[in-house]
Amino acid sequence: MQRVYMPIQLQAPRNLTQPILPNWSFNLFNVNLGRSANPAVEQMALENIGSYGRQIGHVAEALEVIVRRLNLMEGNEISQKEKDVLQVFLGDVSAIRQIKASLPKA
């Protein structure tokens, strides 16, 4: 029986880096989202109030209260197109509330 040896050469790539999220720095967790009129205010808001998501969540919950208290979905004060826009918004707020409820408490 004759043996045949085939030279197999496996070589790892020389560069193993790949940009995944541009503008992110994983060593310091810096995020550059663009220019700001007042970066100091933004930084203090992020540190003392919360993330942009948290801030938007507060605004969304406040608008939900206003829409419901003014009965905008039931009355004739706004058009059907405007009601549709509000319904999508209220659906988003509800979906986020369900996501929060499904997660373990931190």
Rounded to an integer, the average pLDDT of 32-60 is: 85
pLDDT of residue 93: 94
Cβ-contact 32, 23 below 8 angstroms? yes
State the pLDDT at residue 92.
95
At 13 the pLDDT is: 64
| Both tokens assigned to 80 | 């059907």
Q: What predicted TM-score, i.e. pTM, was given to this entire model?
A: 0.59
Distance CA 105, CA 9 (A): 51
Mean pLDDT, to the nearest integer, of 76-101? 94
Residue 40 has pLDDT above 80, yes or no: yes
Give the pLDDT band of residue 72 (cuts 50, 70, 90). Answer: very high
